[in-house]
Amino acid sequence: MDLASAYRSRRVAIVGAGNVGSTLAQRIAEKNLADVVLLDVVEGRPQGLALDLLEASGLVGHHRQIIGTNDYADTADSDIVVITAGLPRKPGMSRDDLLQVNGKIVLEVARQAIAYSPQARFVVVTNPLDVMVYLVWKATGLPSQQVMGMAGVLDSARFQTFISLELKVPPQDVSAMVLGGHGDLMVPLPQYSTVCGIPIPELLDQATVERLCDRTRHGGAEIVGLLQRGGAYSAPSAAIYKMVEAILLNQSRILPASAYLEGQYGLQDLYLGVPCRVGWPGVEEILELRLTDAEHDLLQRSGDFVKVRTEQVLQQLM
């Protein structure tokens, strides 16, 4: 690497300047993590959002470049491409209703973005998440470790919140783990979810644990139902930020991410939420936890569900 590129600012391209994308741009700039390029198909929207964010920079005290654009050439040489482009769920819609329409969008986005940033790491956010990550991996032709999906960090943060509310302890004292596909079949893991190291089944009765797991599984729908227009974006953008930071700062953090499985957990050739070590290479390692038979079965069901849909959309779109 030459000196100029070693010292150039880190750059994150965010494709999809909607609620999640624009909130993520704000978090990245305000925490001084990287320069941001915000891209959308809608003309004026990313430019307007970028200018608005830039005009706040003196007030909040950062010096990051924020560009809004409709042109992929402006995303050139990004270190990370985050894909949030697509349509969100409407009330009553499942994440899978979005399969076809968002599949076409993420394929197009991935093909354009990789042409300008061939070395980038890709973090996919668009729903239905695990299937979309697979499409992006295929479309970019990158090694699978450089392409991952964000969902588990958000689902775990929701579980963490519900545990903290139930036990009246600060959320920072709670560490929660949720695996599986980003959908109703996700697999919260109570015995790997702790308060200062104490597994929650030691602190809560089984019915309460089950209630919190259930609320976590439907955490996205709960917000969609309340908002009526659009979905969650504050916690999602904070969760993406955590992954982007882990990659850019090469933190080797253990985070649940949608990663490509080649036999781990007995699953093959699909993207699914599992605990990963995340750093500059992307997914450095997949951790295989010991699961109960019931959890193992749930993870298999979640994997089967994702795999069928992945194969279906691959046939239709590729």
Annotated binding residue 70: no
Decide if residue 41 touches ligand TXD (CB under 6 A).
Answer: yes
Pick from 26, 127, 156, 193 the residue near ligand TXD by CB under 6 A. Answer: 127
Whether 296 is catalytic is no
CB of 236 to ligand TXD, least distance (A): 4
CB of 199 to ligand TXD, least distance (A): 25
Decide if residue 161 touches ligand TXD (CB under 6 A).
Answer: no
Decide if residue 16 touches ligand TXD (CB under 6 A).
Answer: yes
Decide if residue 231 touches ligand TXD (CB under 6 A).
Answer: yes
Decide if residue 84 touches ligand TXD (CB under 6 A).
Answer: yes
Decide if residue 256 touches ligand TXD (CB under 6 A).
Answer: no
Distance CA 167, CA 161 (A): 10
Decide if residue 243 touches ligand TXD (CB under 6 A).
Answer: no
Pick from 69, 75, 78, 102 the residue near ligand TXD by CB under 6 A. Answer: 102
Task: Write a three-state SS string for the chain.
Answer: CCHHHHHCCCEEEEECCCHHHHHHHHHHHHCCCCEEEEECCCCCHHHHHHHHHHHCHHHHCCCCCEEEECCHHHHCCCCEEEECCCCCCCCCCCHHHHHHHHHHHHHHHHHHHHHHCCCCEEEECCCCHHHHHHHHHHHHCCCHHHEEECCHHHHHHHHHHHHHHHHCCCHHHEECCEEECCCCCCEECHHHCEECCEEHHHCCCHHHHHHHHHHHHCHHHHHHHHHCCCCCCHHHHHHHHHHHHHHHCCCCEEEEEEEEEECHHHCEEEEEEEEEEEECCEEEEECCCCCCHHHHHHHHHHHHHHHHHHHHHHHHHC
Decide if residue 40 touches ligand TXD (CB under 6 A).
Answer: yes
Decide if residue 183 touches ligand TXD (CB under 6 A).
Answer: no
Instruction: Please state the φ and ψ torsions of residue 63, each to the nearest 5 degrees.
Output: -125, 30
Pick from 14, 15, 136, 259 the residue near ligand TXD by CB under 6 A. Answer: 15
Q: Which of 62, 63, 182, 218 is catalytic?
A: 182
Binding part of the chain for ligand TXD, among 40-48, 58-66, 157-165, 307-315 by CB under 6 A, reads 40-48
Tokens 């974006």 correspond to 233
Point out the residue whose Cβ comes nearest to ligand TXD.
Answer: 18
Binding part of the chain for ligand TXD, among 25-33, 35-43, 59-67, 157-165 by CB under 6 A, reads 35-43
Is the Cβ of residue 129 or residue 278 nearer to ligand TXD in the bound state? 129
Residues of the shown chain interacting with ligand TXD in the complex, contacts defined by CB under 6 A: 15-21, 40-42, 84-86, 88-89, 102, 105, 108-109, 125-127, 129, 150-151, 154, 182, 230-233, 236
Catalytic residue IDs: 182
Instruction: Give the residue numbers of the binding site for substrate.
Output: 89, 95, 127, 158
